[in-house]
Structure 1
Amino acid sequence: MGTSTTHTSDARPDNAAQRRAEDILAEVTASGAENGVQVAAWLDGELVVDAWAGSADVAGERRPIGPDTLIPAWSMGKGVAAALVAVLVDRGTPAYDMPVAHYWPGFGAAGKDGITLGQVLGHAAGLPRLPADLTPERLMDLPAMADWLAARPPEWEPGTAFGYHAWTYGLLLAEILRRATGRTADELLRAELAEPLGLGDDLLFHVPEHLDARVADCADGGWAALLDRMPPDVPFFDAAPRGVLPLAELANRADFRRTVLPANGVLTARAAARMYALLAGGGELDGVRLLSEATVKTATTAAFSGVDRTLGGPGAMGFGFMVGDSGRRPVRPPGGFGHSGSGGTTAFADPVHRFSFALVKNRMTLPGLGARLADEIRTALGLAAA
């Protein structure tokens, strides 16, 4: 098996940004606002923040969180999948502009013969919807879900609009990658991205049995109530039906954790920040080049923008990455790209400053901590305000 990250020393950076991050994590875990938190940042090829605090358990302090604790990070995994695809595209297979049906002939049914891999990655394929009565057990049957999606017509003309494909992003990518390469998404992630970066057991789409002891439990901190307050007819519930909402209860299920679904990630902040440091550096880190600057730029430039048909607000998507940030309190700076996840997890790259940032935590709350930490760390490092 692969190894944990090459940066596993508990010796932390010594600078103003590190100290500020440690102060904030101590504050939010002591107050109970958070349970267990990790944050990491890289600047110009160097790890400059590596902080953690709190508990990996949700019932007390029996198991302190550490830098190597794996945390379910939900849709942060979509950015990991996007980075993996970019590495594969750089090597020639698959290709962003290739119709999915080239790799998966059955997918071409019902008017989908022209949908490209890039449109799937950019949430522009018109396939966000899942059955309203979907259960976790049915969601985890990936071959059956792939067949179901292959028979569906798109809900809009592919490429003309985008709408967040909450679960179908991962369902589609898992099948496309398997058919295009002959390997599963987890095999590809380990061999082509994680292990070359020294992150074999730290950057995952699922939890293998031998890593069970490293995984944090998840708890709800207001996220469930936020989803419950949403009107029942919003398009988000078409993409994430009530039975498979991204909630702590689902994250804690052993069978769900075993499912290789590249809509989700299970990872450490160190690992996510290191992966985005590779992208912030144009595809090279520590003398290892995994993809070209040209492919990084193609993957992280907005390909689809406007009003998200699923989430309802403005946004922009590259080939699997959220580009920029139109939120009321932005996490990503102008020119930045990355991906956030349910419950307040987030990671991004800022190529202008060769900076990357990642926050993961096991209490699912409304977003806010990520923007605060990113702003404070960037300020302490003397970077322009986001």
Structure 2
Amino acid sequence: MDLQKAVDALVASGAESGLQVAAYLHGEPLAEAYAGVPGPGTLIHSFSTGKGCTATLVHVLAERGLIDYDTPVARYWPEFGAHGKTGITVRHALTHTAGIPQLPRSLTVTELCDWDTMCGIVAGARPLWEPGSGSGYHGWTFGWILGETIRRVTGLTPGRALRQYIAEPLGIADEVYFGLPESELPRVAPLVEGGWEVHLARLPLGAPFTRLVAPNRGVWTTAALANRPAYLRADLLACGTMTARAAARMYAALLGEVDGVRLLSPERLAQAAAIAVDGKDRMLVRHHMKGLGYFLGMPAMAGLPTSFGHHGSGGSIAFADRERGLSFALTRTRLVDPANATATVLADDLRAAIG
């Protein structure tokens, strides 16, 4: 397929405002295209696509013996154990079964961007259900539960840990971030609303996502939030700012070697990408398969449970297809309605091209 031609046509038609798409096959670059942004190195905030980076960092640290999936988070972060949370493990956090997806209704963006404030709020939360008894998307809290664990075991800020353990070894240190250095802000393409905020506003009154996960409009994952410099600079491990090239390269290095670098052993990858949860999500109120920190078998992944990765609000996605040895990433500047099929269509075309 002519990926560049397809991406150019999407932007020229007005269906997209800016796209980056990248793919690797068996550790080698397969395709890369961009349109509507200055270049393939332009940074795009991709919301929860960054959770894939957080999960990968946890697994890399587990591979090194610094984190154990079945150890209580409170063993690493004692304050977290308050209010009945002593039994919540790293595995619970990765699978969204910890039972603490909620944020205070009065939460401000300033508080959201303050690491110590948010860790205090998460440590003071009470589980909404018995940990391990059900899975409900921890849209924001995923980042602080795992991020503070990462900080405690490494002694590094999460952003620095991402750089040291993943980005620098893969040669993408200037292409993937949790919180951006101020000097990198000019490289970020602004996001625009393209139906995503409208979708959130149309959720039923009392929907768990807008009642608990993102309980006021100020902390919805919108273009207005993502375009704030203070937000982009904050270490928010539920999100990420990246290029499609960097995301595809990271997933390729989970499947196998990329220029001599492999992030996980085959055995560790098998654990991380195996089905851990298969059922209705309590916050998203629909069926999902999840591994340890990754979603499995999403539409852009051809519905295959052997494909793992993460999507972001407004339609970004990055994943790996274990059967084909394929990794794929799409970052976009226009935040679209969930019905938008661009990522699925482009990924399907690449799958067809490689057989």
Q: Report SS of the residue matched to 2:279.
A: strand
TM-score (norm 2): 0.96
1:349 aligns with 2:324: no
Structure-1 residue corresponding to 2:213: 239
The Cα offsets for residues 264-316 of structure 1, whole Å up to 9 and x where unpaired, read as: 010001000000111122xx322223321111111111212211000000112
The residue type paired with residue 323 of structure 2 is V
Corresponding residue for residue 305 of structure 1: 278
Shift of 1:331: 4.9
- In structure 1, the residue matched to 2:246 is 271
Structure 1: segments with no counterpart, 5+ residues:
1-16, 56-64
Counterpart CA distance in 2 for 1:357 and 1:343 is 17
- Residue from 84, 94, 115 that aligns with 1:121: 94
Counterpart Cα distance in 1 of 2:248 and 2:43: 14
2:235 paired with 1:256: no
SS of residue paired to 1:81 = helix
Residue 258 (structure 2) aligns with: 285
The structural deviation recorded for 1:232 is 2.5
252-261 or 131-140, which moves further after superposition? 131-140
Tell me the equivalent position of 2:56. 83
Matches within 5 A, 1:59-98: 65-98=38-71
Q: Which residue of 1 aligns with 2:354?
A: 381
Secondary structure at the aligned position of 1:371 is classed as helix
**Partner residue in 2 for 1:48:** 30
Moved more, 142-151 or 311-320: 142-151
Q: What amino acid is the match of 1:268?
A: T
- Count of aligned pairs: 351
| RMSD (CA atoms) | 1.3
For residues 193 and 262 of structure 2, the distance between their equivalents in structure 1, rounded to whole angstroms, comes to: 39
Note the residue ranges of structure 2 that are not aligned, 5 or more in a row. none
Equivalent position amino acid for 1:244 in 2? V
What corresponds to 2:156 in structure 1? 183
In 1, distance between residues paired with 2:312 and 2:101?
Answer: 17
Percent of counterpart pairs with the same letter?
47
Partner amino acid for 2:23? A
Candidates 23, 27, 47, aligned match of 2:9 = 27
**Does residue 190 of structure 2 align to residue 217 of structure 1?**
yes
Aligned mate of 2:133, from 160, 178, 182? 160
| Structure-2 change in CA distance of 1:330 and 1:194 (3 Å) | closer
- CA distance in 1 between partners of 2:40 and 2:20 (Å): 7
Q: 1:91 to 1:97 in 2, by over 3 A?
A: same
Q: Which residue number corresponds to residue 362 of structure 1?
A: 333
- 8 A contact 1:162–1:305 mirrored in 2: no
